[in-house]
Structure 1
Amino acid sequence: MSGDSKIGAVGGIGRTGPLRKVASDATASLSAAPQIQPAQDNLPTARLSRLAGSLADMSPPVDVARVATLRAAIASGSYGVHPAIIASAMLDFHSGAE
């Protein structure tokens, strides 16, 4: 190929200065890194025990009146199951719709 010597550097960019030494900068930053301190216990055992006790003393989030109504309807045979409504609610739940 006779014309290759006339093209010049590929991309037209040539290095004009020396390469910088990145490795020495990285080594200096590693030696200056702060020492890692062990994590302190933010919630001592006594505090966690009190929290667990207070949660155990709380009543569960159950609507007792609604449960009694449903039990009575099931016992009397008046509770109706509607598969289409249940299926629609399941699809809404799993698709993210509310």
Structure 2
Amino acid sequence: MKRDPGLQPERTNLAWNRTALAAAACALLLLHVAAKRGWGIATAPAVCTAAVAVTLVLLGRHRHLGTTRPRVLLLVAALVTLGCLCALPLALTPVT
């Protein structure tokens, strides 16, 4: 008997796309902050967040095929953590 997965794969794919879109929006906001602060080290969180967005898009496409690896999820977690750690000093200092 052939299994009917229903709409679950489509919902999962849409969830990955929404998460990637949110990460891309955060990257744009961080680029805006970096531009106001004169670029430099302030671009690091934006680059990390953009890398997360791209990784999420690729992960969503491969997840649809059922080939998600734990290493890829670890990469996403590491990029998010690195982006947060880089953004922390920016959040604690006032904009001049």
Give the TM-score normalised by the residue count of structure 2. Answer: 0.25
Greater gyration radius: 1
Q: Does 1 or 2 have the higher relative contact order (CA < 8 Å, sep 6+)?
A: 2
Q: Of Structure 1 and Structure 2, which has the larger fraction of its residues in helix?
A: 2
